[in-house]
Structure 1
């Protein structure tokens, strides 16, 4: 690795056009019959966010629903381009967001390890070299022979986490995935997370579970309605968030 890992967001704004909802066609027809002009409607999910995350940092994201946590993670992952501002990511990113993303529901767990591994940038030979280790870590046993459409949410987490962390990512982005699943696997996943953090890589972790955020992260960013309210040491930010998050 020639460059130090980093995430740099400068004055990032993300605006979504919500004009084309399910009622837009009916609304457009009625508006035309009435001679009305329909104006476009937007939602500003992020409003001028500035974030610098350096090599080795473990950063938590907290905020109520709609605060912008998932949006900022998707900007970091390159899924959402900023409407305004710039994002610079140095390092291989492994995102874990919606559980079903990257899964072929009619294929087996083994086949989905291969598919997800390729989506995360592994060559077929690399996947085959690691596939047994990934399967063993998931502890899904004979269920790996079954189509993933038969899996519970906890089983999805086991499989997705096992693949995403087996590729030794440089930047790991997690969105609420650690809060679900059974306690035994959660403890095993936490141990792998600590191993990952000991390697000095970047972790960005969004969760409503404040104890988990404090456990994993040294720094916390508190978001509210697309803006950063506070960015600093985990204990200080979480204390203020608990005091004022209802406001």
Structure 2
């Protein structure tokens, strides 16, 4: 059974240059919303997440709210395994699909077909699995013969379409999103929206950050509001 368990999760980032420490404390507190402090060895750190605890089980649709710098993206990246806890613990079970950076792992000198394999490996799938999915991914991307060419000649829209097609090809237990994705032109966007809805509905657990309350209200049954890396509210609703 898929689940996520966070217990006292805290994440700190060190600041290597500790000159003008008071200025950096002020700047980072204003710009990032995080907490800046010093360790006993006078290493300056910024606490992006502070004592975050929650449980998610199948059926949970969690919306993360908060201003820029509140810790939403850091929490999503921690759930995706990008950041390790500085203290506390974070445990999950189930296949995770992260839609935080859908082109991560691509090689601009590799062809589109080769990047299907590379991006798939980044997502934790086997080369054999990605080979099996390649025809479906190619068809969804609508890139045709461009898939035989190096990705460096792709437009940004073409690259995102390929990344989206790869990232959404395999159903997942847990889906992580930083805003609802807008991909491609009007026709492709409709197809992408349908794919996202299908993927999020089939997932056991969804965690999405958004600045648009309407998206959260339509999709989620729980919201956590973050401020300066701390949970300030945790609400459940139907």
Q: Give the TM-score normalised by the residue count of structure 2.
A: 0.81
Aligned residues of 1:96 and 1:160 also touching (Cα < 8 A): no
Whether the 8 Å contact between 1:15 and 1:42 is mirrored in structure 2 is yes
Distance 2:215 2:78 in 1: 23
The verdict on how the C-alpha distance between 1:135 and 1:188 changes in structure 2, with shifts beyond 3 A counting, is same
Is the alpha carbon distance of 1:63 and 1:183 closer, same or farther for their aligned partners in structure 2, counting shifts above 3 Å? farther
User: Match of 1:193?
Assistant: 196
Aligned to 1:16: 13
- How many residue pairs match? The answer is 219
Aligned counterparts of 1:149 and 1:39: Cα–Cα separation in 2: 44
- Aligned match of 1:89: 92
Aligned pairs (5 A) from 1:77-156? 77-156=80-159
Deviates more, 1:51-60 or 1:79-88: 51-60
Q: Displacement, 1:22?
A: 11
For the aligned residue pairs, the C-alpha RMSD in angstroms reads: 2.5
Deviation of 1:205 (Å)? 1.3
Give, in angstroms, the shift of residue 234 of structure 1. 6.4
Give the CA deviation at 1:213. 3.0
Give me the whole-angstrom Cα distance separating, in 2, the residues matched to 1:215 and 1:162.
Answer: 24
1:54 maps onto 2:57 in alignment? yes
Partner of 1:71: 74
Q: Which has the higher helix share?
A: 1
Contact 1:106 1:148 in 2 (8 A): yes
- Tell me how far apart the structure 2 counterparts of residues 142 and 18 of structure 1 sit (CA, whole Å): 47
Name the SS for the 2:116 alignment partner: helix
Contact 2:18 2:43 in 1 (8 A): no
Q: Which residue of 2 aligns with 1:208?
A: 211
Distance, in Å, in 1 between the alignment partners of 2:148 and 2:214 is 36
Aligned equivalent of 1:171: 174
**Gapped regions of structure 1 (runs ≥ 5):** 25-37, 236-247
CA contact (8 A) 2:175 2:200 kept: no
Residue in 2 that maps onto 1:217: 220
Question: Can you give the 5+ residue segments of structure 2 that lack an aligned partner in the other structure?
Answer: 22-40
Contact 1:219 1:231 in 2 (8 A): yes
